[in-house]
Structure formats: C-alpha cells, structure tokens
C-alpha cells in the first residue's frame, strides 16, 4: 500500500455498527504496517477511558493513536498553575463566571425533594421560602447527568456532567433560550465557549483559550475550530496523509483543509436516501453539502456497487465514487450446538430496523411451528413499543427480549437463522457476522445492504420489503428443513469470507488509494 499516513476522521466513537466498522478499519490498516490516527470532534473530554476499553478488548491496536478536540484542550488546561498570564479578556471571563457562580450559590437553608418521573430519577432543591434553586437529573447508578439552576423561577444555567464533573455549561436568557455554551476542564477552567443567537440557536462564534500561553483565538463557529484543529494534525506529518472522513459532518470539515495538505477521501456508512427509502426517494439533508461539492474530494467510497450505481445516476461524479466494503473479522467462535427451533435478531432496537415486521411475521410462523422461538438481542428507543406489540399479539412465551449481549456471534452461531427487516441499510454488520459464523439470514430486500451480502436461495433468503408472508415462509422453510440451514450457512461463510476478509478488503482500499493519489496529483498540478 502507498506509504502515506492515514488519518481517520469521525464525529465520535460510539457503540454502533458504524463505529465498529471504523475501528476495524483502523486496526486493519495498523496490521498492514500503516501509521494510523483517529480524530474525533464530539464534546466528550473522556475519550481516553473509552480507548482503554477498546485496547483491553483487543478491538484497537496500541499503535493506533486517537485524539479528540475537546479532550486535547481539556487536558492542556488541567495544570496547577498556568506558566503564562491570562490575557484581559480571559481574566474578565473568569471574574464574570465567578460572580455568576456566587449568585447561583445555594443558601444554607434548603429543602430537597427526591423523586422519579418518566425520564428517571431526579432531585430538586428549594430555599426556605419555597423557591426552586436546582433540578438535578441522575442516572440509575446515582451519577449526575445534568443540573438546571434557577433564579426567580427561571432557568439561568444548565451544567451537563460526565465522569463526575461538569463539562458543558449552558447559559440561558429570560426566555429560556441558550445564549452561551462553555466547555470546562475538570478544574473548572473554560477552555472554549460558543456564543449563540438566542432567536435561532445557531452559533455566532467560538472562543478557544490556551491556558498555558494565555492566548484566546476566535473562530466563526464550531466547524471552523474543528477544521483548524484538524489542519494542525495534518500539518504535523512529514508526508501528505490520506484523510478519510467517516461521518457526514466530518466530510464537510475535511473539505475545509488546504487542498494541497491532504489526499481527501470520504466513506459513507449508510444510505443516501430518506423515507420511503426507494431509489427515487429524497436525498439525505445532512449530506447535501457533500453531494454538492463531491468533485472536491479525491475519492468517495460507498459499501456496495448497487448503491454506487444509484448515486451516480442521481448525483453524477462517477470519477470520484468507488466501492470498498467494510472488513469483517472472523474470530474463532467456541463450538455451540445449533438450536433448530431458535431464530434470532441481534440489532439496535430503533425505527430503522423495523423489528415490528419481524415480530408480526413470526406470529405467522408460530401458526405452523408453535415450538419456534424468536430471541431479540439489543437495546434502543423502540424497546417499549416492541414489547407492547409482543404482548398485544400474545407471543410472550415465544418472542423474548434478551437485552444487549457481549457474545453476539455465539447467539448467531446457535440459531437456525437470523432475521433482518430494516427499512434501509448500507452494509449491515449483523448480516455479515451471521453469515460469517455459518448461519443463514432471512431479510427484507431494503436498499442497500442485504442484496450485497446474501445470495438468495444460496446463503439465505431475500424477500420484498414489507412482505411478511414471504418472510414467514422463508423462516418456515428453514424450520422444516434444518439441514438446509446448515448448507446455506456453510456456503454463506465461504462467500462472505472471500468478499470481506482482510486481504480482499485491503486490496480494494489499495485501488481506491491509487485512484485518489492520481486525482490529488492532477488537482494540485492544475493549482
């Protein structure tokens, strides 16, 4: 592979499939001997704790460096004494915040009410005259999530907590509209603040303070600050790096880099469409700027040829778009006995996954196969709605919600088949993993993932989206012929391994790097 460093850029390190794909990508490049750095922008100043978890679990090699713009500025601010004096603006800010804190100080005499509502546990504090002082929302473990401060029955400030300290402070006007966001280090130092237009909620400027030098720099907004920080990372390399943006907001930010400082690439981990998720559906608004400025990139990567073809028809830029699937790790799964009555779903419980379709189809399955069971693993905002549906249909003994699992591959390996009923996908990890452990998948033919992974009748079954009867029919076919499940699963493992193992995916990346290098060279020759 071309010996450029690789900078992977994403908004945050979450817990979903897209984050896993990014981490697997970083690990793959590192194992290939590349210098890899991952840069994130979310306002969590505790990314390092998450990184340690990832390293301990083996998900991230020690050679991959991770940086977060907030954590970096937060840690720089956490010094006992600043070696240089703070300038006048910063001194004034600290005096004003100290005064505000004094005004918000809770009087000695106060009354505390503890309670619980639909959002969870809370505490309210009142002064001796009955005036509300604070409203504190707490997690299940008792840790503070946020604290609202009140004066004369009006909210004036909210402190959001993470890891036991207030890391974002929002100031409100008399109309309860936010006017300022302050980003705080553990010692309370405000390393950045964002001013807001109270009428629109949009940012009108960001001031970033360096406690060590005493300098304050103004940016037009958060994106401009993020671009400036990312540019400093890019400029630290002696060789022009590949910079790969992995989320919609990250793509527009890498477009702000100097064009000669980086080979700019972007990868789309989701669909480019919105509801009703058909070929001619509206394009996603969060990618509007990207689609308009696509030609400024050196390469734009999608996960399947079918999606690339549809995007070229809608957007053009065929010379920019290419296809590279996500790499799939094939860890050893301890031997488990397949349960010929078990069908499973391992998924986030969210509207996109449309799991009500799987439940309703399974009700049809049970009419002919009353011993069958559907186990649903995962958590998310749709859980209560789905549980109510199961109760409504009287399926409680056959459809079970198992919560999140740390062993999804073992769940899949012992299942007769898995189900996917998503409204849209790009290249669903759950389907790839199921095939990877030798378990066939029955899926709705949504755009775009299932058809890129499943060979209908050979490694699983694909049915028209929304056809519950055909979905149920395919599941019943496997329940009645367990040996068919074994044959399809074996073929599925061989097929997905040939397409998504590290060697195959690295080869696709090399082709994309070579193409991006050519565009980068041509673009800078013209400049």
Tell me the per-residue pLDDT of 5-51, one tens digit each, with 9 for 90 and over: 999 999 998 877 788 889 999 999 999 999 999 999 999 777 778 88
What single DSSP character describes residue 283? Answer: B
Q: Give me the torsion for CA of 145, 149, 154, 156, rounded to 10°.
A: -100
| Cα maximum dimension of the chain | 78
Angle at the Cα of 308 from the Cα atoms of 304 and 309, rounded to 5 degrees: 115
Task: Quick: pLDDT tens for 302-329.
Answer: 999 999 999 999 999 999 999 999 998 8
Residue 119 confidence (pLDDT): 87
pLDDT at residue 107 tops 80: no
Pick the residue with more confidence: 80 or 37?
37
User: What ranges in 107-171 are assigned the alpha helix state H?
Assistant: none
Question: Between β-strands 215-219 and 203-210, what pairing exists: parallel, antiparallel or unpaired?
Answer: antiparallel
Helix/strand/coil (H/E/C) assignment for every residue in 210-259: ECCCCEEEEECCHHHHHHHHHHHHHHCCCCCCEEEECCHHHHHHHCCCCC
Tell me if 227 sits within 8 A of 253, measured CB to CB: yes
Backbone angles phi, psi at 309, to 5 degrees: -60, -45
pLDDT at residue 133 tops 90: yes
- Whether the upstream peptide bond of residue 480 has omega within 30° of 0, thus cis, is no
What single DSSP character describes residue 284? Answer: P
Residue 104 confidence (pLDDT): 52
Residue 1 confidence (pLDDT): 53
Secondary structure class of 155 (helix, strand, coil): strand
Confidence of residue 527 (pLDDT cuts 50, 70, 90): low
pLDDT at residue 399 tops 90: yes
Q: Can you give the pTM of this predicted structure?
A: 0.87
């Amino acid at each position: 592979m071309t010996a450029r460093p690789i900078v992977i850029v994403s908004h945050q390190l979450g817990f979903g499939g897209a984050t896993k794909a990014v981490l697997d990508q970083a690990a793959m490049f590192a194992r290939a001997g590349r210098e890899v750095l991952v840069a994130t922008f979310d306002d969590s100043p505790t990314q390092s704790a998450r990184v340690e978890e990832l390293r301990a679990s083996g998900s991230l090699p020690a050679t991959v460096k991770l940086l977060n713009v907030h954590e970096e500025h937060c840690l720089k601010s956490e010094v006992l004494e600043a070696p240089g004096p703070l300038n006048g603006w910063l001194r004034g800010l600290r005096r004003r915040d100290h005064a505000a804190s004094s005004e918000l100080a809770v009087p000695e005499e106060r009354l505390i009410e503890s309670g619980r509502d639909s959002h969870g546990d809370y505490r309210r504090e009142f002064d001796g005259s009955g005036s509300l002082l604070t409203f504190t929302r707490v997690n299940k473990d008792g840790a503070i999530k946020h604290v609202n401060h009140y004066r004369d029955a009006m909210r004036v400030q909210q402190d959001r907590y993470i890891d036991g300290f207030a890391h974002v402070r929002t100031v409100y006007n008399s109309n309860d509209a936010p006017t300022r966001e302050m980003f705080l280090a553990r010692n309370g130092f405000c390393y950045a603040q964002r001013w807001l237009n109270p009428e629109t909620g949009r940012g009108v400027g960001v001031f970033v303070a360096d406690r060590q030098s005493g300098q304050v720099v103004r940016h037009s907004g958060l994106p401009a600050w993020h671009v400036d920080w990312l540019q400093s990372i890019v400029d630290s390399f002696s060789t022009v790096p590949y910079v790969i943006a992995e989320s919609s907001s990250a793509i527009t930010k890498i477009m702000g880099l100097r064009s000669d400082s980086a080979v700019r690439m972007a990868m789309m981990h989701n669909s480019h469409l919105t509801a009703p998720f058909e070929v001619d559906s509206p394009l996603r608004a969060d990618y509007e700027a990207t689609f308009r400025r696509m030609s400024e990139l050196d390469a734009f990567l999608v996960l399947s040829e079918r999606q690339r073809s549809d995007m070229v028809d809608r957007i053009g830029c065929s010379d920019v778009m290419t296809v590279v699937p996500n790499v799939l790790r094939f860890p050893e799964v301890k031997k488990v006995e397949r349960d010929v009555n078990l069908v499973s779903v391992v998924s986030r419980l969210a509207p996109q996954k449309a799991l009500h379709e799987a439940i309703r189809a399974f009700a049809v399955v049970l009419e002919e196969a009353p011993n069958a069971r559907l186990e649903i693993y995962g958590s998310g905002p749709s859980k209560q709605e789905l549980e109510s549906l199961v109760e409504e249909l009287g399926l409680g003994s056959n459809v079970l919600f198992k919560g999140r699992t740390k062993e999804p591959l073992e769940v899949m390996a012992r299942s007769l088949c898995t189900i996917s009923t998503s409204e849209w996908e790009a290249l669903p990890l759950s389907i790839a993993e199921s095939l990877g452990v030798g378990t066939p998948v029955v899926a709705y033919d949504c755009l775009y993932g299932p058809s890129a992974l499943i060979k209908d009748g050979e490694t699983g079954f694909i049915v028209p989206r929304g056809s519950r009867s055909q979905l149920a029919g395919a599941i019943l076919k496997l329940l009645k012929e367990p040996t068919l499940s074994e044959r399809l699963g074996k073929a599925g493992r061989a097929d997905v391994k040939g397409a998504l193992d590290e060697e195959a995916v690295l080869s696709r990346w090399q082709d994309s790097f070579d193409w991006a290098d050519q565009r980068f060279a041509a673009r800078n020759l013209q400049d």
